[in-house]
Copies of this chain bind each other. A is one copy, B any other.
């Protein structure tokens, strides 16, 4: 659809004038004008931080295909569900995932309040950066102990306040940027582009749901109820007559690997048509989204190939973001692989 803005209004004016005599006419005119406005907006490049190439083109082709009402590939708005991993997909997870920085900062505060904590072997290991030790054993008991110390035993209000306070002080050790500044500009554009095309965007992450919810609306425009993450139960009580939710470590659900499709079913309740990840932990989410889906579907992997502007890793990542089997599966299932080095003009949000 094209629209010439400099000409006389004659091309639609005749019809317009005859519409204006009734309420229905008013509504029709308003609808017509609204149809014109998006076409003006969409004429701009929706993904300006993406270099031209097959990755960018595959995104645009998919979005245009599923939003074209005259196409067999049209997907109703209700079913335009897009799911995004967070760590390594929407923001940087190197040298450590952001939530680990929170855990370490919080542990230091706890130890200052109660120095006996520092004698616990797992606290010692965490503060010394010996993460291998935390991950020993079949049930990751060390990691669970540390998460319990920093993510449970307080009210949800206290937890939110602690995360908020930390967000204000956080700066990335290498880039000296804030949390929001460590999100990827091209992915922020992708979130906006999908929403402009009536997609609902969800985070589906192995990170803590309560952690992400503190800031995700502000930095991604994603509301708390569109965030699926690792979670545990709270306990409801009236304390001095006031409602309180205490965070516990009970009933833990780990939203990673085969847990991601499970979390999607549990929290979203319908199958996505687009999934975005960066590691083997996202493979099952991409499989669930793209294999045997009655709708057209789209899978994308962000490949960390840019050591200069960010980090380069796949099989030996600085964190949990190993990308081996999913990368092998990509050609088989037609998943787009994005090379950060080649496909992205800019890496970090607002860094142009």
- The reply to whether B16 and A217 form a contact with Cβ atoms under 8 Å apart is no
> Within A37-69, which residues are at the interface with B (CB < 8 Å)?
37, 40
- The reply to whether A225 and B261 form a contact with Cβ atoms under 8 Å apart is no
Query: Once the chains are docked, how many angstroms separate the CA of A260 from the CA of B236?
Result: 9
> Within A164-211, which residues are at the interface with B (CB < 8 Å)?
200, 202, 209-210
- The reply to whether A262 and B288 form a contact with Cβ atoms under 8 Å apart is no
Query: Once the chains are docked, how many angstroms separate the CA of A226 from the CA of B211?
Result: 21
> Within A1-23, which residues are at the interface with B (CB < 8 Å)?
5, 8-9, 13, 16-17, 20-23
Given A243-B288, A243-B291, the answer on whether A224 and B30 have CB atoms closer than 8 Å is no
- The reply to whether B243 and A261 form a contact with Cβ atoms under 8 Å apart is yes
Query: Once the chains are docked, how many angstroms separate the CA of A243 from the CA of B293?
Result: 9
- The reply to whether B9 and A23 form a contact with Cβ atoms under 8 Å apart is no
> Within A202-242, which residues are at the interface with B (CB < 8 Å)?
202, 209-210, 213, 217, 223-227, 231, 233-238, 241-242
* A119 CB-CB contact with B under 8 Å: no
Interface residue stretch chosen among A85-93, A264-272, A313-321, A336-344 = A264-272
- The reply to whether A241 and B37 form a contact with Cβ atoms under 8 Å apart is no
Query: Once the chains are docked, how many angstroms separate the CA of A26 from the CA of B11?
Result: 13
* A287 CB-CB contact with B under 8 Å: yes
Tell me which residues across on chain B come within 8 A of A227, comparing CB atoms.
269
- The reply to whether B242 and A291 form a contact with Cβ atoms under 8 Å apart is yes
* CB-nearest residue of chain B to A212: B269
- Residues 257-297 of chain A: 1 if any B CB is under 8 Å from the residue's CB, otherwise 0? 01111100111111000000000000010011001100000
* A75 CB-CB contact with B under 8 Å: no
* A100 CB-CB contact with B under 8 Å: no
- Return A218 CB to nearest CB of chain B, in Å: 11
4 nearest A-B pairs in the assembled complex, by CB-CB distance = A224-B269, A9-B20, A30-B33, A236-B261
In the assembled complex, 15 residue pairs joining A and B whose CB atoms fall closer than 8 Å, in A order, are: A5-B23, A26-B33, A29-B33, A30-B37, A156-B265, A209-B269, A225-B269, A234-B265, A235-B258, A235-B262, A236-B258, A236-B259, A242-B292, A243-B261, A243-B288
